[in-house]
Structure 1
Amino acid sequence: MDHVLYRQEGAVAIITLNRPEQRNILSSDEMQAALLGAIERLANDHVVKVAILTGAGAAFSAGGDIKKIAETAGKTSPPVSRSHYINGIQRIPLAMSRLELPVIAAVNGPAVGVGLDLACMCDIRIAAQSAKFAESFVKIGYVPGDGGAWLLPRVVGLPKALEMSLTGDMIDVDEALTWGLVTKVVPDEQLMDVAMAMASRIASNPGFAVRMTKQLLHKSGAMSLEDLLNFTATAQAIAASSDEHKQAVEAALAALQAKKRRPKEN
């Protein structure tokens, strides 16, 4: 069985964590390698404009393998453990951060620990009604080892991130929506349709503009206004010279002219 499924519908790629019998845990070497492979494929595919990330079965991702953690608790030296993180799970947030195209997390069930952090690595999060969320590392004496301490505050703000990280408590979709962790909550059976509809709206726009707009928004928090404006001017100059821009403007103008020619109703 493939640990991660990858399929493409036009300019939209759908990536599915595919170990439902293990609730799509991310701690195995095989799952990490498969997910990194899918991310690399996205990075090198300039036909795809947007991706959807979801989980097979009843969970988005339950995070780590608690049985394996129990077996190794207290038995691994700090240098070995540190190397394991740097050369293992931490490659995923770095790879996700380098993606130019946007990724929508379609959270189909519990997203716990690393699973929550993976959702936070995505640009937009849509949740099924059955979804739940927990930054639960502290419950087993861990810290967020995969970048959660950087990711979560940028999504929900520092006070809420502290509450989630220090208690390890599970929150439901209503809290997640109120806190801004997700932007939409939909019935379970509608999740992929809603995610695909949003992805299609994004993919209908010129690809370079989509990719650079994502980059501008992500870079804005770490740049001065002057530096961001300079970066924007360069991006806009490239966009303005592209065939995609010309075609999009021509289509918008044609739509406007057609609207003007439409007979008015009495």
Structure 2
Amino acid sequence: MTDEFILYEQDEGIATLTMNRPATLNALTGVAETRSVVEACERINADASVRCAILTGAGQAFCSGGHVKDLRAKKGLGEGSAHAIQNRYRESVQRMALALYRLQVPVIAAVNGPAYGAGCDIATMCDIRIASTRAAFAESFVKLGLVAGDGGSWLLPRAIGMSRAAEMTFTAEPIDAATAREWGLVSRVVEPERLMDESRALAHRIAAHPGTALRMAKRLLREGQRTGLETLLEMTAAYQAIAHHTPEHDAAMQRLFERTS
């Protein structure tokens, strides 16, 4: 078994990324783990055959966030001067956040267990979230006298709205999978033994479509969160012009007319 934090598997245009530190509940102990995530994202972006990705955790947890023993010992992310810590966050968890958010293909978070702190935020970096009944979500930073160093204060309100994001942030209390669904944090909740089957089935429905169109559609959704309508319309017109000239569009139109003739 590889020592990499991320196990990378690919099948039929679907890349499955598994955070693989079950003994520590897939905690982020430092730069090595976050670099593994970044490298997996770069690999996907460079591979046009990938049309969808699934992110999950090995063992009982999705991701427990920062490694609390290291944090207590002032090791890993919390080692050194304030300036050193600031730079380490920029070069580790924040690079990871940007890499996951900028993934060009649709990403499904298959949340198999607790997603606490950075683990909760990693889930919000994905496009779609499916939760096991064993999942729980906590924006737990203030409980440790910390703040979300990975962009959670930007990501979480966009996923569930400001009031509920504030409640999760200020109480640091976990919500269960049913509440996460009620609040819109996840799309569906399934039994643990069905989680990966459901996630793969959805990934196959997505990956059945042309990769170029999927990547452009995702980019438009991302840009729509932060830009004005006029700017997005200009971007859409440019993307649509490109799409009209792709062989995937021609093939799709051919199939459509063959079915209806």
SS at 1:180 equivalent: coil
1:146 to 126, 147, 150: 150
- Return the letter of the residue paired with 2:210: P
Q: Distance in 2 between matches of 1:219 and 1:89?
A: 22
Q: Distance in 1 between matches of 2:193 and 2:79?
A: 44
Q: Distance in 1 between matches of 2:37 and 2:225?
A: 27
RMSD over aligned Cα, in angstroms? 1.3
Aligned residue number for residue 233 of structure 2: 229
Q: Distance in 2 between matches of 1:95 and 1:145?
A: 15
Q: Distance in 1 between matches of 2:256 and 2:19?
A: 38
Aligned residue number for residue 261 of structure 1: none
Q: Is the 8 A contact 1:27 1:89 kept in 2?
A: no
Q: Is the 8 A contact 1:135 1:169 kept in 2?
A: yes
Displacement of 1:77: 2.4
Q: Distance in 2 between matches of 1:60 and 1:75?
A: 25
Q: Distance in 2 between matches of 1:9 and 1:87?
A: 31
Q: What is the aligned residue count? A: 257
1:26 to 12, 25, 28: 28
Aligned residue number for residue 224 of structure 2: 220
Provide, for residues 196-229 of structure 1, a one-character-per-residue CA deviation record: whole Å limited to 9, x for no partner.
Answer: 0110011001111111111111111222211111
1:200 to 198, 204, 209: 204
Q: Is the 8 A contact 1:18 1:55 kept in 2?
A: yes
Aligned residue number for residue 191 of structure 2: 187
Greater C-alpha radius of gyration: 1
Q: Is the 8 A contact 2:30 2:92 kept in 1?
A: no
Q: What are structure 1's unaligned runs of at least 5 residues?
A: 258-266
User: Aligned pair 1:41/2:43, yes or no?
Assistant: yes
Q: Is the 8 A contact 2:35 2:96 kept in 1?
A: no
In the superposition, the TM-score normalised over structure 2's length comes to 0.95
Identity %: 47
Q: What are structure 2's unaligned runs of at least 5 residues?
A: none
User: Aligned pair 1:251/2:260, yes or no?
Assistant: no
Q: Is the 8 A contact 2:54 2:109 kept in 1?
A: yes
1:50 to 49, 52, 55: 52
Q: Distance in 2 between matches of 1:64 and 1:223?
A: 32
Q: Distance in 1 between matches of 2:173 and 2:255?
A: 50
Displacement of 1:75: 7.2
Q: Is the 8 A contact 2:130 2:189 kept in 1?
A: yes
Aligned residue number for residue 162 of structure 1: 166
Q: Is the 8 A contact 1:4 1:17 kept in 2?
A: yes
- Return the letter of the residue paired with 2:50: V
Provide, for residues 84-135 of structure 1, a one-character-per-residue CA deviation record: whole Å limited to 9, x for no partner.
Answer: 1111211111112222111110000000000010011101000011000000
Provide, for residues 212-252 of structure 1, a one-character-per-residue CA deviation record: whole Å limited to 9, x for no partner.
Answer: 11111111122221111111111011001110001011112
Q: Is the 8 A contact 1:15 1:52 kept in 2?
A: yes
Displacement of 1:23: 0.6
Displacement of 1:57: 0.5
Q: Distance in 2 between matches of 1:59 and 1:89?
A: 19
Aligned residue number for residue 100 of structure 2: 96
Q: Distance in 2 between matches of 1:216 and 1:8?
A: 25
